[in-house]
Structure 1
């Protein structure tokens, strides 16, 4: 077993199992975590979403094997549904070289911003000749300056090209995030989407002194194919009052899962059939006009 596979398995197991188990207990018993990160004394449960809010994000980068430029632009809008529930819609467009895809996701969740989030999220990525969709539970657990975040479920990938094999199966996406300060996030994460596996390092820093809430972002990802990607970008927040980055992540909008599904899938969505001779059901090359002795093949009739 490679180091990448072992690290991915350990990371995803810890990230996804902990939010589901601990958050379920918190939801049943209404156990609040210790002091919130902002160190404010609150004796009530905050709403699942502080109010209508959203974010816009843009990043540029490159990927190896083969070398290509990458581009992604995305946006999210979150709305409260009463005090206990929230919904969020994600949209994104991205490219790897000359190949483009659009993606979207929809979250429905309940959350106590001081301790947990529990919900269900569905997402889809559509490219020329292929689409990938996934649906399953999403969970987050907040432990002071540490956040455990996971999304997993069932995914299906379908190609228009008959020479490519459609797939379906389990997907898992998870992150462990730490906030050294209220406006700086560091995270390590992993993804397994229909057998395509990757590990990711990411960071986000909010610039709080410019009168407009925005942050700088960076990401490094390593795929099990040997490919690597690197991205830098910016993210702007709107709709919510001024607050720290950690509070935005826990009181406003969950991660953009349209981007996560696109990034975790790697080159699956842009797969192309390998060039080569067509073979019939008997293992004979189509178009061969003479019998190949010893192979049991006969000429294919016109």
Structure 2
């Protein structure tokens, strides 16, 4: 996987120099070198989180583009970091098609990905998706306990349908299958007009199996290109999404020693005497549930207890 990321990077660096303005920007895979930076916070699967995502995108001639992603932040006080590379072709009037590779790590869990991604542009609607192979490496121990969750490799995928209610307002909904968990998603982004450096506000939520939920929101800043561009133009002439994976919950072995409950002591056993027809317990004790009936015939045995903390 590391070799794949390196190969994608070499392709981007060794390709002919970035073309200048050739015809209309809207006819190129990427209108020109650009970048974006987002800062967000909220809850990831019930854990407090803050995350910064950055991307740099540049054209390779007219028909291809490359994007480099980075991610850094904390989730549940553990550092999350990683990055990815996209290489793609695009006709801004109709589609995007490309390859993607990434690596992310959090709480000693490493996730490698290789995938294909695509987008279809249908008027004010956009259909986007990514799907491929995901390799999850987990640590041997966590918090001093043995990890029972095994390493895994499986398919992952994501698909979203977006609607631009205005040129600067995007509403989206979709489905994600990551770390073998199915999730429904919803999001919104609004580009605030009037700034020399374009700024948008966004929010999104993921909800699904295993009681997973994630709700985040933040700001996104766009750099490069025409600051008067609308949100729909930016999404179709500049940068694909910056993806971060869903990390699995680790299952650990049960701690041994004092944390395990001690077994209950056995209740004392008494013998019924020949003249004892009631199997009476000594003063200050009571019969243990499950002992012989109140009236019993000797010989026999029954148990008494001073407290409930004993086993029959």
The answer for the alignment partner of 2:70 in structure 1 is 91
1:100-115 → structure 2 map (5 Å cutoff):
100-115=79-94
The answer for the alignment partner of 1:75 in structure 2 is 54
Deviation of the 1:210 alpha carbon: 2.5
Within 2, Cα distance between the matches of 1:49 and 1:275?
53
Aligned counterpart for 2:238 among listed residues 236, 252, 256: 252
| Contact preservation (8 Å) 2:98, 2:118 | yes
Secondary structure in structure 2 of the residue aligned to 1:255 = coil
- TM-score, length-normalised on structure 2? 0.69
Deviation of the 1:227 alpha carbon: 2.9
Q: Deviations over 1:140-196 (max 9, x none)?
A: 000000000001011110112164300001000111111000000010022112312
Q: Which is bigger in relative contact order (C-alpha 8 A, separation at least 6)?
A: 1
The answer for the alignment partner of 2:164 in structure 1 is 179
Matched, 1:140 2:119: yes
Q: Deviations over 1:282-301 (max 9, x none)?
A: xxxxxxxxxxxxxxxxxxxx
Within 1, Cα distance between the matches of 2:198 and 2:80?
28
Q: Deviations over 1:207-250 (max 9, x none)?
A: 01133201001111113111322111000000111200000000
- TM-score, length-normalised on structure 1? 0.71
The answer for the alignment partner of 2:27 in structure 1 is 46
The answer for the alignment partner of 1:60 in structure 2 is 41
Give the structure with higher Rg (CA): 2
Aligned counterpart for 1:190 among listed residues 175, 184, 193: 175
The answer for the alignment partner of 2:18 in structure 1 is none
The answer for the alignment partner of 1:240 in structure 2 is 225
| Alpha-carbon spacing, 1:172–1:146, altered in 2? closer, same or farther (3 Å) | same
Q: Deviations over 1:118-145 (max 9, x none)?
A: 0000111112322011111110000000
| Alpha-carbon spacing, 1:44–1:52, altered in 2? closer, same or farther (3 Å) | closer
Within 2, Cα distance between the matches of 1:92 and 1:151?
18
Structure 2: runs of 5 or more not aligned: 1-22, 141-146, 257-312
The answer for the alignment partner of 1:11 in structure 2 is none
1:263-278 → structure 2 map (5 Å cutoff):
265=246, 267-268=247-248, 271-276=250-255
Deviation of the 1:274 alpha carbon: 3.8
Within 2, Cα distance between the matches of 1:252 and 1:134?
23
Aligned counterpart for 1:203 among listed residues 188, 191, 210: 188
Structure 1: runs of 5 or more not aligned: 1-41, 278-302
Matched, 1:216 2:195: no
| Alpha-carbon spacing, 1:233–1:43, altered in 2? closer, same or farther (3 Å) | closer
Within 2, Cα distance between the matches of 1:233 and 1:44?
29
Secondary structure in structure 2 of the residue aligned to 1:246 = helix
